[in-house]
Structure 1
Amino acid sequence: MLTSLSIKNYALIDHLHVDFNNGFTIITGETGAGKSILLGGLSLILGKRADLSSLRDKEAKCVIEAHFDVTNYNLKALFEANDIDFETQTIIRREILPSGKSRAFVNDSPANLSSLQALGERLIDIHSQHETLQLVDDDFQFEVIDALAENNNELQDYAIQLSVYKKLKGELKHLLDFRKDAIKEHEYHSFLLNELTQAKLKEGELEVLEEEYEMLSNIETIQEKLTASNQLLSDEQIGVINALTELKTVLKQLANVSNKYEELYNRVNSSLIELDDVFSEVERFQEDLEVNPNRLEEVNAKLATLNNLFQKHAVTDISSLIEIRAQLEEKVSATENVDSDIAKKEAEIKGVKAKLDAVAGAIHTKRTKAVPDLKQQLEHILSSLGMPNAQFDIKLSLDETYYKNGKEALSFLFSANKGGDFKTLKKAASGGELSRIMLAIKSILTRYINLPTIMFDEIDTGVSGEISNKMAEIMSQMSTTMQVFSITHLPQIAAKGHTHYKVYKEDVNNITTTNLIQLNHDERIVEIAQMLGGIDLSNSALAHAKELLN
């Protein structure tokens, strides 16, 4: 409920602060006194866009602050979803700066307009004769029926199943689209994969092949050089080994003379041992060396294959080709398995669809049972509100489409006159009739769900005295379970309020200012008497006012 409202520097309001109670609150005032300004300020709290022209003093900021008791509103999840600190005593503040910028805060946490609007919808419902579009909206009509049908649990279950169903349908579409595109590319991908598979790629293979190619393509030169090396090492006349052997023999004789000659001898001996090993290695290389034109052709072909693959796939190493091969294997495999995946997904969808249909069927059954009760209650209330011939024709029919709240098409038709044709509310009801229908619906809803604070803005315009009494009784009854405001010009309604506020204008230093005050019992008598008979009070008007209040 709205517990207090503070407005500074807004339109004709300089500074206004008022505390509100639960129950039925009346707001009255002469035409032009500023009731619409009060609603305008409250609308900013509910997320309406700010207008710089609404600043009273263009050099100062406008501040509007409202306090709400949300203890019984079950709004914690909504606060968390909008990243706002939850407090049972919630404070919403809106500021309009002289620069034109607007700021909003909920419990001192900055909030954007969308969060403010989402929260505002759960806090206050402002309803006027010119704001009945909600009544002709299918979603609202379903909400009314579902409230009587007590479909809350079923609708939550339906929403969960619908979310899963839509997710699976999206995944199926992705698979179908993938298959459609993949079929076109499958042959090409398979060809590329086959090329890479036949190449029998191995990490590090390129370096080995390149070295082998150099060996095989230069076999004659290698052979020639190894033969020359063999001769230089082993030839009897000029061979290095023979020469070193003779040198070793000579130094052997000197080794016994002095240690320094022995050291020289040992060095020569070590060199001879090393050269013997080199000679053995050269001989082994000669033995292993084989002219193999077939192998050279194989290596050359493999290198050509690799270079072609490098060029085709725009890479420079075998590791990249192996990675591309893995990707192609995945694509080809996915394409080959997509039919199986589609079949599995369709089976999942079939199972969820069965659950969705079952819940939708349960919702439809409960709605169908609730419709006659809603029709009877509406027609009964409207009869007491001066519409004795009002009739509703409400029909529900199961559809094949999954809507956000079920699988039904709703026909919510109305006729205000006996024998008249049934038409949609928008076509069949006048503005005053729509207001009374909305009042009837809201009064019915209070018996089934917790509604937020509701503010009726002059919905009694054009209503006669007796009907206004009934409207006042309905609003008063609603206020036993919720906070109800009524901005009214009718004394019959004003007298039914538990608390009465008056909006008035006054001129201070040649500046007009709008104010709001709470009236005591005697002041209420005067206000209601003036509503009855004008500003010049008569004894009969005062007596009538007292009678209404009592």
Structure 2
Amino acid sequence: MLRSLYIQNYALIEKLDIDFGSGFSVITGETGAGKSIILGAIGLLLGQRADVKSIRRGAAKCVIEARFEIAGYGMQPFFEENELEYEDECIFRREVYASGKSRAFINDTPASLVQMKELGEQLIDVHSQHQNLLLNKEGFQLSVLDLLAHDEDELSKYRSLHREWKQVQQDLEQLVALSEKNKADEDYIRFQLEQLEDAHLAVGEQEELEQEADTLSHAEEIKAGLFRAGQAMNSDEGGLLSVLKECLNTMAGLQKVYPAAGELAERLESSYIELKDISQEVSGKEEEIEFNPARLEEVNGRLNLIYTLQQKHRVSTVDELLALADDYAAKLSNITSSDEQIETLKARSEALYNKVKRQAAVLTGLRTAAAREVEKQMAARLIPLGMPNVRFQVEIGARKEPGAQGADTVNFLFSANKNGALQNISSVASGGEIARVMLSVKAMIAGAVKLPTIVFDEIDTGVSGEIADRMADIMQEMGDSDRQVISITHLPQIAARGRAHYKVYKQDNETETNSHIRRLTDEERVGEIAHMLSGATLTDAALNNAKALLGIV
């Protein structure tokens, strides 16, 4: 439960530090004194969006910190899953900077707003006046049934099945759309593939053909060059080989009288052998080269086919054309097999849908039983709140298609009068009646869910007198059930029932206005409640009435 709240530089609050106790407490104060500011600060702790305009003028940042006692509420799993340090006292802190930056901490460890919100929802429920509108929201009504049905495990199982079913449906829709598109393109894809296959392309073919085309185009020039080179080496008169042979013989003849000539002779012989081999190869190459216009035309035709395909498909290599052919072949294969895949997915979708419907039926059964219990409890709670002829009915309908929360629609029907027709609660209930219904719903939920702290922000709007006493009974009863209940109220009947009484007030100085909150003493409570009864003028009758409300003899 909420043990303390610290606020610094938030709106009209320069600094506020207040402790709270267990049971039923009340907060009072004039309109505009700052009660809503305190609730806004708590909202920041629960992950609400920060507004830099809420920072007190002239301050660099605002800080809101709350301490919660969480021992005995089984919250260790949350801390373990989020890698946060668990202690019996949990500290929430939010810092909002004038620059727009915001930081959040749980037990002094940086935390995300999602984590703050998730944990905060398990620690405190703040019921503001606008939440009465939730009574007309089907999602809220359904969540009330689920809380009282204790169907968390079955609902989790349903959601898992529903997500899987929706994913299969999505996959099926995508496959059908792709299959239809591919079938529309099948003739085009088949034509492109056949054209590429008919070309009988081979890896490395283009480079070889381009080289052959160059050779054939310059055949005469190449042959003439090889002939000249051969003549230069083999000519009987002045040819390179004959001259070299003569040099070799000369050196060989000198080696008897000049030993150094022997080494030179060996080198010349090696060169002669190499050059003779080159000469023979040149001659062979010359014989191989011939001008072949027919072959050149054939090679150029083949290259033109390759270049045309590359230009058509906007690629630059044969490898890319071969990869494109593989892609077309794969698409045709998919077109052929898509019908089988579609049928497989249809069967899987149908099987999952049947599972979803069966699990939805389980939820419907649990919710129907919970609905009857809700009707009984709401009637029992509302009759003492000045509605002797109240009728409250939970109408459960069926959706056309199972949704994320099941196959049920829920509608709270209400009538406060004997002759009144049951209608949607927001259509027929007055503001005071809605407030009483909402308090009853919250009390019913509190009995089913172990929520440490509940804050009511003027839930008593539109009621007075004996009804206010009955509403105070309910809140006091909730506070006596190992739960902390804090009610912000303008009614003296409710204010007098609190175990602790806090007052919010404003003080002005020469330059600014500050909001404060403090716990009232027993004597101060008499005066505060008397003012709530009589207004600004404090009368003896009001004081006596306040004492009577407080049970002071």
TM-score for the superposition, normalised by structure 1: 0.85
Residues 201 and 318 in structure 1, CA contact (< 8 A), matched pair in contact too: yes
Residues 383 and 390 in structure 2, CA contact (< 8 A), matched pair in contact too: yes
Partner AA of 2:540 in structure 1 = L
Is residue 2:539 matched to residue 1:536?
A: yes
Structure 1 range deviating more: 13-22 or 186-195: 186-195
Residues 197 and 325 in structure 2, CA contact (< 8 A), matched pair in contact too: yes
In 2: Cα distance, 1:170 partner to 1:96 partner: 42
Equivalent residue for 2:159? 159
SS of residue matched to 1:92:
strand
Structure 1 range deviating more: 272-281 or 81-90: 81-90
Deviations along 1:469-507, one digit per CA (max 9) or x if unpaired, are 322221122221422111233343334322222334556
Residues 530 and 537 in structure 1, CA contact (< 8 A), matched pair in contact too: no
In 2: Cα distance, 1:234 partner to 1:508 partner: 121
Equivalent residue for 2:404? 404
Please show how residues 448-487 of structure 1 align to structure 2 within 5 Å. Answer: 448-451=448-451, 453-479=453-479, 480-487=481-488
Is residue 2:364 matched to residue 1:364?
A: yes
In 1: Cα distance, 2:193 partner to 2:258 partner: 76
Q: Give the direction of change, closer, same or farther, for the CA distance of 1:178–1:74 in structure 2 (3 Å limit).
A: farther
Deviation at 1:140, TM superposition (A): 0.8
Deviations along 1:488-538, one digit per CA (max 9) or x if unpaired, are 333433343222223345566797654333234454455445555663335
Deviations along 1:107-127, one digit per CA (max 9) or x if unpaired, are 345667666555554443332
Deviation at 1:382, TM superposition (A): 0.7
SS of residue matched to 1:446:
helix
Q: Give the direction of change, closer, same or farther, for the CA distance of 1:268–1:389 in structure 2 (3 Å limit).
A: same
Residues 34 and 505 in structure 1, CA contact (< 8 A), matched pair in contact too: yes
Cα RMSD of the aligned pairs, angstroms, is 3.7
In 1: Cα distance, 2:243 partner to 2:53 partner: 115
Q: Give the direction of change, closer, same or farther, for the CA distance of 1:522–1:256 in structure 2 (3 Å limit).
A: same
Deviation at 1:374, TM superposition (A): 1.1
SS of residue matched to 1:188:
helix
Partner AA of 2:102 in structure 1 = R
Please show how residues 380-399 of structure 1 align to structure 2 within 5 Å. Answer: 380-399=380-399
Total equivalences in the alignment: 548
In 2: Cα distance, 1:32 partner to 1:267 partner: 115
Partner AA of 1:537 in structure 2 = D
Q: Give the direction of change, closer, same or farther, for the CA distance of 1:297–1:544 in structure 2 (3 Å limit).
A: same
Partner AA of 1:502 in structure 2 = K
Partner AA of 2:139 in structure 1 = D
In 2: Cα distance, 1:533 partner to 1:265 partner: 138
In 2: Cα distance, 1:502 partner to 1:238 partner: 127
Residues 104 and 113 in structure 2, CA contact (< 8 A), matched pair in contact too: no
In 2: Cα distance, 1:381 partner to 1:472 partner: 13
In 2: Cα distance, 1:247 partner to 1:96 partner: 100
In 2: Cα distance, 1:7 partner to 1:240 partner: 106
Deviations along 1:69-97, one digit per CA (max 9) or x if unpaired, are 34456667777998977665333334555
Residues 129 and 457 in structure 1, CA contact (< 8 A), matched pair in contact too: yes
Q: Give the direction of change, closer, same or farther, for the CA distance of 1:12–1:233 in structure 2 (3 Å limit).
A: closer
SS of residue matched to 1:459:
coil
Structure 1 range deviating more: 19-28 or 284-293: 284-293
Structure 1 range deviating more: 384-393 or 107-116: 107-116
Deviation at 1:17, TM superposition (A): 1.5
Deviations along 1:188-243, one digit per CA (max 9) or x if unpaired, are 33333333334444443333223333344455555566566666666667766566
Residues 507 and 513 in structure 1, CA contact (< 8 A), matched pair in contact too: yes
In 1: Cα distance, 2:405 partner to 2:34 partner: 41
SS of residue matched to 2:447:
coil
Q: Give the direction of change, closer, same or farther, for the CA distance of 1:227–1:105 in structure 2 (3 Å limit).
A: closer
Deviations along 1:160-209, one digit per CA (max 9) or x if unpaired, are 12222222222223222322333344433333333333444444333322
Partner AA of 1:127 in structure 2 = H
Q: Give the direction of change, closer, same or farther, for the CA distance of 1:230–1:519 in structure 2 (3 Å limit).
A: closer
Equivalent residue for 1:446? 446
Deviations along 1:358-403, one digit per CA (max 9) or x if unpaired, are 2111111111222112111111211111112221232222323232
Deviation at 1:344, TM superposition (A): 2.8
Residues 445 and 451 in structure 1, CA contact (< 8 A), matched pair in contact too: no
Equivalent residue for 1:106? 105
Deviation at 1:142, TM superposition (A): 0.5
Equivalent residue for 1:516? 517
SS of residue matched to 1:15:
strand
Unaligned runs of 5+ in 2: none
In 2: Cα distance, 1:286 partner to 1:505 partner: 112
Q: Give the direction of change, closer, same or farther, for the CA distance of 1:274–1:38 in structure 2 (3 Å limit).
A: closer
Is residue 2:549 matched to residue 1:545?
A: yes
In 2: Cα distance, 1:328 partner to 1:354 partner: 38
SS of residue matched to 1:417:
coil
SS of residue matched to 1:90:
strand
Is residue 2:348 matched to residue 1:352?
A: no
In 2: Cα distance, 1:29 partner to 1:235 partner: 126
Q: Give the direction of change, closer, same or farther, for the CA distance of 1:243–1:402 in structure 2 (3 Å limit).
A: same
SS of residue matched to 1:132:
helix
Partner AA of 2:35 in structure 1 = K
In 2: Cα distance, 1:226 partner to 1:40 partner: 98
Q: Give the direction of change, closer, same or farther, for the CA distance of 1:383–1:110 in structure 2 (3 Å limit).
A: same
SS of residue matched to 1:515:
strand
In 2: Cα distance, 1:336 partner to 1:392 partner: 60
Please show how residues 67-216 of structure 1 align to structure 2 within 5 Å. Answer: 67-71=67-71, 89-95=89-95, 99=98, 101=100, 103-107=102-106, 108=108, 120-216=120-216
Residues 220 and 290 in structure 2, CA contact (< 8 A), matched pair in contact too: no
Q: Give the direction of change, closer, same or farther, for the CA distance of 1:222–1:397 in structure 2 (3 Å limit).
A: same
TM-score for the superposition, normalised by structure 2: 0.84
Equivalent residue for 2:503? 502
SS of residue matched to 2:417:
coil
Partner AA of 2:306 in structure 1 = L
Deviations along 1:398-450, one digit per CA (max 9) or x if unpaired, are 32323221012223222221121222111111111111111111111122222
Structure 1 range deviating more: 205-214 or 114-123: 114-123
Structure 1 range deviating more: 298-307 or 246-255: 246-255
Deviation at 1:53, TM superposition (A): 6.4
Please show how residues 276-287 of structure 1 align to structure 2 within 5 Å. Answer: 276-282=276-282, 284-285=284-285
Partner AA of 2:456 in structure 1 = F
Q: Calculate percent identity across the aligned residue pairs.
A: 40
Structure 1 range deviating more: 282-291 or 270-279: 282-291
Residues 130 and 431 in structure 1, CA contact (< 8 A), matched pair in contact too: no
Residues 5 and 18 in structure 1, CA contact (< 8 A), matched pair in contact too: yes
Q: Give the direction of change, closer, same or farther, for the CA distance of 1:188–1:258 in structure 2 (3 Å limit).
A: same
Structure 1 range deviating more: 202-211 or 289-298: 289-298
SS of residue matched to 1:8:
strand
Partner AA of 1:106 in structure 2 = F
Equivalent residue for 1:488? 489
SS of residue matched to 1:21:
coil
SS of residue matched to 2:448:
coil
Residues 390 and 414 in structure 1, CA contact (< 8 A), matched pair in contact too: yes
Partner AA of 1:541 in structure 2 = N
Residues 9 and 59 in structure 2, CA contact (< 8 A), matched pair in contact too: no
Q: Give the direction of change, closer, same or farther, for the CA distance of 1:362–1:58 in structure 2 (3 Å limit).
A: same
Partner AA of 1:482 in structure 2 = R
Partner AA of 1:306 in structure 2 = I
Deviation at 1:456, TM superposition (A): 1.6
SS of residue matched to 1:388:
coil
